[in-house]
Every structure is written in structure tokens, then in C-alpha cells.
Amino acid sequence: MTVTVPGPTLGVVGGGQLGRMLAEAAAPLGVDVVVLDPTPDCPAAPVAREQVVGGFDDPEAFRELASRVDALTFEIELADSDLLEEVAEEFGLTVHPSPETLRTIEDKLVQKRALEDAGVPVPPFRAVDDEADLRDAVSEFGSVMLKARTGGYDGRGNVPVRDESEAADALDELDGPAMAEAFVDFERELSVIAVQGDGEVRTLPPGENVHEAEILRETVVPARTTAEVRERANEVANDVLSMLSGRGVFGIELFETRDGEILVNEIAPRPHNSGHWSIEGARTSQFEQHVRAVLGWPLGSTALRSPTVSANVLGTVEETRAARLGNVESVLSAEEASLHWYGKDDVRPLRKMGHLTLTGANDADVTDLLSRARDLRDGLTFE
């Protein structure tokens, strides 16, 4: 295709930090972004051209967004897939990734069944409709992770169940459709940021993810595993993309088992927290790749610039209050560090407020980088 700039205007359903970073990446390409989000002056608003204030299932808001843009995408799975399909057809727009893909991914049970049917390796799982189903899952698999089928993120919607006696309380905590997945005895958690363009697929180097209390804390790139495991992770990521329709970036979370097997944990049909390192660490960030892909433009290089660690800045307060980050000069004074603030007005316990990245020389020890990134991150305070 022929590309000229200024380019088209891209509509994004969702105006959180992902929408903010998408708009930041789109601007140098000559692409304006309009976001739709229910929160007035959402994090993406200061860097997007415009914001449409409305819910993720608001037909009039979707139509208002569609009337102002040339193409549609989304940065949150709460986007109504049927509405996306409807307004795209009504206004003659493309929407990527496809609403069909969103429908597959937004329900974790549907997602897992689709992966299994495609021959992609996944942990054992089963649907849970009632307490008897959950007790049967624990009896069959041993300890399980009970997952809300829709809406869960950042540890929400996940409840570990180690004994049949915990079944009733676990189901009460989720209060909705669920699935049970066998606990995986994993060596480490990995992720691959994969991008599907117009007839081409590329993957960024696999990252190693460090979680605590089900919340991503740090990502280390390259992942501290063997070249064979990293190659296998990329192969599985390519298999995942072959079963999904539409262009865009996909965050694919993986388990590396003790014997080096790769299993798919979950898929996000959008840029992903575990790919934030790519802004400084890759030739083309996941956000620029997503803009290029959904517009049908040529994809960028996925080569690693340098070993990189990203560390999330989470709310350390005990209760919600106005957000003000202190000791920022410690990060700014570190020559290989970069700070990203998400522009959220309020901080609350464990809320993702920003992230920092630390890059090193090509021969840098990523474990040392991780330690330094943690020190810098932990030195930040909320005043």
C-alpha cells in the first residue's frame, strides 16, 4: 500500500495508559488519535486529539467516535465487540483486531477452548457452573486457579483453590461465570508481544515476567532462559496468531514448565503491560507496531536495542487520594533510566500509576539491571 502523512485518524476505544501511549506513538507517524472513555479527562486525553466521553457499551458514544475517525481499534477487552462490528459497518471503517477475535478472547473459557481446539498447548481446565463443578476440578487437577470468565485483570477475578472445602467461598468471591485451571508448576512466566500485520507476523524478543499477588511487577528482556525455550515461545506465539483474525499487537502470556515446555496462560488482543519495555528497548515499540498494524502499514523492526528491564510503579498508599509522585529526581538522574507517568488523578493501593525502564549495554547482566530497576522504583514515593 502507499502511505502518506499526515495520515488517517485512529479511533481507540479505551483511554487509559495504553491509549495514552498509543497516542504518543502515533503522533510522530502523523496519525491523530481520538479516544472513547467513560472517565472525563482520562489518562489519554492530554495526548490524544480528542476524547469522546462515553461507556464501552454506549451506542451513541461509539457512533460519535466512528464519525470522527478513519479506522477503529481498542485498548481494553471491555469494548463491546458487537457494537464495534456494527459501527464499523455503518460508517464504512475497518476495526482491528477483529470483533470476532475480541469475542474469542474476552471470555477466558472460550479463549482456552479455542486454543485447545487449535492444538496450542494450554494447562488443563474445565468450566465451573456451580460448587460441584469446582469440587470436581479440585479432585481432578489438585490445586486450581478459579478464574472469572470475563473482566478480571491485575489479580482481580483470580482465586486460588487448594482444597474442595474452599469451593463455596471461592465462588462467592467471584460471583459470576468461572473456569478452573490446574496450577502449573512453572519455572518462570514469559510473554511474547506478537504483531500481525497485512500478511506479515513479527514477534518481539520474549520477556520474563515477575508477578507478586497476581500483579505484574517487572519484565526482564531477554528472558533468563535458554535460547531453545525462547525459540519455542516464539513458535507458540505464532501458532496463537494463526488462530486469530485481524491486525494488531497481541500480548501472549506463557508458562515455562520445569521441563522446558511452553503453555499459554492468557492472550490480550492489544498492547500489554509486559511489552512496555519496548519503548526504549526495541527498535519499534509495541505501541507503534499496533498503530502500523491496524492501519495496514508496514511493520517495524522487532530487534532488541539492548537488554532492558521495566518495573511497574504501583500505588503504595493505604487509601485512595490525589496522585503526586515524589523523589522523581532519583530516576531522572540515572542515565540509563526512563520514567513513564500515566496521568491518573488518583492513586489507590496497587494501582498501576506508571513504569520505569532501565537499559544496559549489550553485555549487561539483566539480573543486575533488575536489581537496579527495583531500587529506583522502590525509591519513588507518593506524597
% of the chain residues with pLDDT over 70:
99
Side-chain-side CA neighbours of 143 within 13 Å: the count stands at: 6
C-alpha cell at 296: 495496514
DSSP assigned state of 302: -
Mean residue pLDDT of the chain comes to 95
Is 294 flagged in the annotation as binding? no
Neighbours of 169 (CB within 10 A): 10
Is 108 flagged in the annotation as binding? yes
pLDDT tens digits, 337-361: 999 999 999 999 999 999 999 999 9
- Architecture per CATH, domain 9-95, reads as 3-Layer(aba) Sandwich (3.40)
Q: What is the pLDDT of residue 154?
A: 63
pLDDT higher than threshold 90 for residue 379: yes
Q: What is the pTM of this model?
A: 0.95
Is 182 flagged in the annotation as binding? yes
Q: Quote the distance between the C-alpha of residue 67 and its chain's center.
A: 27
Give domain limits for the chain.
9-95, 124-182, 186-382
Going by C-alpha positions, the residue among 176, 108, 164, 175 that lies closest to residue 133 is 164
HEC profile of 110-153: HHHHHHHHCCCCCCCEEEECCHHHHHHHHHHHCCEEEEECCCCC
What is the average pLDDT across 15-42?
Answer: 98
pLDDT tens digits, 288-302: 999 999 999 999 999
Q: Quote the distance between the C-alpha of residue 3 and its chain's center.
A: 28
User: For the ranges 65-69, 194-198, 211-215, which has the lowest average pLDDT?
Assistant: 211-215
Q: Residue 216: which residues within 8 A CB-CB, separation 6 or more? A: 154, 209, 210, 273, 274, 312
pLDDT higher than threshold 70 for residue 153: no
Looking at CATH, the fold of the domain delimited by 186-382 is given as D-amino Acid Aminotransferase; Chain A, domain 1 (3.30.470)
Is 264 flagged in the annotation as binding? no
Which amino acid appears at position 282 of this protein? Answer: A
Quick check: 26 and 9 in contact, CB under 8 A?
A: no
What is the average pLDDT across 66-73?
Answer: 98
Each residue of 72-90: b (16+ CB within 10 Å) or e?
Answer: bbbbbbbbbbebbbbbbee
Quick check: 75 and 267 in contact, CB under 8 A?
A: no
Which amino acid appears at position 222 of this protein? Answer: P
pLDDT tens digits, 298-314: 999 999 999 999 999 99
Please report, to the nearest 10 degrees, the dihedral formed by the alpha carbons of residues 88, 90, 91, 96 taken in order: 10
Residue 2: pLDDT band (50, 70, 90) is confident
Q: What is the pLDDT of residue 338?
A: 98
Q: What is the pLDDT of residue 176?
A: 81
User: For the ranges 63-72, 151-160, 227-236, which has the lowest average pLDDT?
Assistant: 151-160
Is 218 flagged in the annotation as binding? no
> Between these two residues, 163 and 370, which has the higher pLDDT value?
370
Is 362 flagged in the annotation as binding? no
Q: What is the pLDDT of residue 157?
A: 82
pLDDT tens digits, 93-145: 999 999 999 999 999 999 999 999 999 999 999 999 999 999 999 999 989 99
Residue 151: pLDDT band (50, 70, 90) is confident
Q: What is the pLDDT of residue 239?
A: 97
What is the average pLDDT across 29-41?
Answer: 98
**Separation of alpha carbons 106 and 251, rounded Å:** 13
Which of these CATH numbers, 3.30.1490.20, 3.40.50.150, 3.20.20.370, 3.90.650.10, describes 124-182?
3.30.1490.20
User: Reduced to 3 states, what is the DSSP secondary structure of residue 20?
Assistant: helix
Q: How far is CA 212 from CA 118, 155, 209, 249, 314, in A?
A: 31, 9, 10, 25, 12
Is 318 flagged in the annotation as binding? no
What is the average pLDDT across 244-270?
Answer: 96
Which amino acid appears at position 137 of this protein? Answer: A
pLDDT higher than threshold 80 for residue 155: no
DSSP per-residue codes, 216-284: EEEEEES-SS-HHHHHHHHHHHHHHHHT--SSEEEEEEEEEETTS-EEEEEEESS--GGGTTHHHHBSS
Is 189 flagged in the annotation as binding? yes
Q: How far is CA 70 from CA 14, 23, 343, 367, in A?
A: 17, 15, 27, 44
